[in-house]
Amino acid sequence: MKVELRDPNTIMKLSRLGSFHQSKLSFLRSFLSEFKDWDYNRDLFNLDKGGYGEAIYSFKKKDRVYSLVCFANKIDDEERSDRVIATKWDAAFTLYDGVPSEDDIKRLKNEVPKQEIGRLTFKELTLSRANKSVRVFNHVVKNLSEGKQPDLDLLSKVGYLYRTTAVYGSGKFGLADRFRIKNREEINGPFRLEMMLVYLVRQFTFDQVNHVAHNINPKSAVKLDNQICKNLGIGNSTGLGMAPFIVNHPTLLNNWILSRETALKKIREIKIVKNQDSELFKDCLKKSLKNITSWNTESEYQQNKIRLLLRDVKKLINHVENDFDFQSEFPFNEIYLWLEQNSCEECIEYVVSIMMEPYNDITEPLVSNMSSEEEKYFNIPTYRTVQELLEIIKIRYSNILDINFDQKENHQNFWFISKNKEEPRMADRFEEYGSELEQPLAIARDIKKLYEQLLSLKNDSTTIAQFLSLNPDLRHVVRRAFIIEKFPYSEIQDNTIGKSIVPIDMLRLKLSFFGALKFDPRSDKWLRICMFQGAPLPNELKNYDEQWVYKANN
Amino acid sequence: MRSLSEIETAVKRASRAVGFSWGISEEVGKSIRLLELFGLAGIKNLNQYYKEREIKKFENLNLISEKNIAQEAFCPITLGVSFLDQIKLIENFETIHFKNIAYPVIFLSFLSRASEIGGKKIYVKFDQYEILLNLNVNIFSNGFNKDFSNHANNVEIKFLDNQDNFADSEWNSLYKLAENTFVEESDSLKQSGAGAGLTDND
């Protein structure tokens, strides 16, 4: 049986993209899989009694070394902020390419804590900073110093000791450009070095909390239990800065989604499912209930989604246990079709992720397809004709063409770059000033404009070169239309400037591919998440349970 | 040192700020990134050009022919984008002449990309400079490490046919040396040394 890939007009809608969950294709999981054989080491741990100072952690294999350089700083409580406008953080980090010399550390000590206003070099690969969850950190320190383990309920509610507020890579602030390192086999997957940074930061937070507790009371302090450590991740606060990325990298977006869709298609096409595979699927599904019930958020929007998810996953478990025969042919296809009829979007995508769990042979080859040589697709094929472009638009943007952009609510918002922090923001076009400096992120509106302009031409055989010479303002969307011709999942099939847009859907999409858990919207424009919660500790990497995601709290 | 990613982003935004469309600005970002990668003064020239553009008018050329003359000076960006867009048409011209191009080094970056799209090396001559654009892999010039002028009076462009840079005799001589790594086959080696190919000639 041949199953078709799912329709981009369904999958690339914001509400669907905003329902995506982590999977075996997620970058933090593929990072762990790639680096499990590398030698992990803590090379330097030079903190004072209060936990302030420097530390270095590394992964090494043959001649290649990646070193996380950490700087822990003392800051006042009122200086601590997760907003990107902050200028001080509890800790700052960079991932160094190789082993940093003393001079390097001295240089980095001066630059890394400054973050955006510091300058890095091509020897540094990623940059980040993080703040303590003061409530949790202090609680853990207090208990450990008194010889006790911390309150698990509190830890479970928060899920981490520190949260990062930004992770930068790919040439930002002088960091190495991607092209310098792209041919390294071990980082043949998106954001792998960013994942490494976050993973090593997590270990730093455990070491720091143990160190501080020990120094308070050296005689009676105990170390944080390893199992508790495993159930802690790293938090992250993410705002709109992340949203334009998925618009600005269409071929990369396509490759992420296409890999996921290909995995689903192949799984639905499995005629006979082995017993061990169906048991693994059912086991993950059942154990994942705890992930849902321990998912805390004050957001009504997300609470509602969680409620529906829990209801529908329970319904599916009941269906699979009582009404379903895994011995039947194409059982995963049957389950998928059942989900489409009986579940919310959040649940459909949740289960799609779990379906991948038994199938390393399907997912592993796809992981290496998730990067993109974006430069290859930049040039516009200007020798082609207006007629061809019209056809592409009609086929690939059919739903977009139905949007009426003359209506105020369909172009209510605009995206801009803030002068203060050089970060993307969104505002109401009719209430705020600055829309004349709008960023080119209103793809749906501009595609519609392009379509109407093309329709107005008398001669269909006009070349794109001729068209562009008269319509330079539409060049950016002409480029995109020729990209989507080859990459059907490269475009969000929705309006990114409408009144009803929920920008966190865009963040959620990207974060799900990172492998984030426990999306916690704090407004419609920013959210908190947790990464690596339940993941193996560095000294366990050589032999770990691949389904750790679904066993975090068990 | 600024990363190429920073350069591309800043150039794109600056180009938009001086009035180019986002699509054209993306092209300028890519092109200046290339110049800087190849060690040519892209940022410096672009900066000067955008300053001069505030007080002076430059001509846009949208349709390129074999002879192109500007009364003032051609905008190197519009000219570069037109060259890129019309490459399939103009690569058939034997030589293309331009009179008056502002900041020709900016134009060079577009020619370099055109060389890759067209699949042909491009030879450019202006003032005392001779430049070879090698399929966007590199830019070879006798003007390396010198400041290109901010104006070129006469520019001549030729698409070079894809042909060897050496004579047949030079190739044969080298190939003869290479043959010294081969083993002379005996009759038995001819029978046993190969895998497929001996019996499939039917």
Q: List, for residues A149-195, the tens digit of each pLDDT value.
A: 999 999 988 999 999 988 999 899 999 998 899 889 999 888 999 99
Identity of the residue in B24, B84, B86 whose CB atom sits nearest the CB atom of A472: B24
Q: Which amino acid is at B36?
A: E
Count Cα neighbours of A72 within 13 Å in the Cβ-side half-sphere: 22
Q: Helix axis angle, A504-514 relative to A27-35, nearest 10°?
A: 20
Question: Could you tell me which chain A residue has the CA closest to the CA of B110?
Answer: A379
The verdict on B18 touching A (C-beta cutoff 8 Å) is no
- Using one digit for the tens of pLDDT, what is the confidence trace for A387-405? 999 999 999 999 999 999 9
Sign of CA dihedral B61, B135, A376, A173: negative
The candidate with the shortest Cα–Cα distance to A42, out of A169, A234, A201, A165, is A201
Tokens of A238: 């993410």
Query: pLDDT confidence of A554, banded at 50, 70, 90?
Result: very low
pTM: 0.92
Query: pLDDT confidence of A421, banded at 50, 70, 90?
Result: confident
Phi/psi for B162 (5° steps) reads: -75, 100
Sign of CA dihedral B100, B106, B111, B117: negative
- Using one digit for the tens of pLDDT, what is the confidence trace for B135-174? 998 888 887 767 788 999 999 999 998 888 899 999 999 9
Determine contact, residues A316/A339, Cβ cutoff 8 Å. Answer: yes
Identify the residue with better confidence: A304 or B145.
Answer: A304
**Which are the contacts of A117, defined by CB distance < 8 A and separation ≥ 6?**
none
Interfacial B residues in 66-105 facing A (CB < 8 Å) = 81-82, 84-89
Give the helix/strand (H/E) hosting A288. helix A275-293
The verdict on B147 touching A (C-beta cutoff 8 Å) is no
Question: Could you tell me which chain B residue has the CA closest to the CA of A120?
Answer: B1
The candidate with the shortest Cα–Cα distance to A10, out of A240, A191, A264, A320, is A264
Work out the mean pLDDT of chain B and round it to a whole number.
91
Determine contact, residues A285/A351, Cβ cutoff 8 Å. Answer: yes
Q: CA A458, CA A455: separation in Å to the nearest integer?
A: 8
Question: Could you tell me which chain B residue has the CA closest to the CA of A416?
Answer: B13
How many residues are present in chain B?
202
The candidate with the shortest Cα–Cα distance to B112, out of B146, B147, B144, B87, is B87
Task: Give the strand pairing for A91-97 and A124-132.
Answer: antiparallel
Residue A553 scores a pLDDT above 70:
no
* Shortest Cα distance, chain B CAs vs residue A129, angstroms: 20
Q: Which amino acid is at B111?
A: L
Work out the mean pLDDT of chain A and round it to a whole number.
94
- Using one digit for the tens of pLDDT, what is the confidence trace for A116-147? 889 999 999 999 999 999 999 999 999 999 99
Residues forming beta bridges with residue A54, ordered by sequence position: A46, A71
Identity of the residue in B23, B84, B86 whose CB atom sits nearest the CB atom of A478: B23
Q: Which residues of A touch B (CB under 8 A)?
A: 121-122, 170-179, 375, 378-380, 382-383, 417, 440, 464-465, 468-470, 472-479
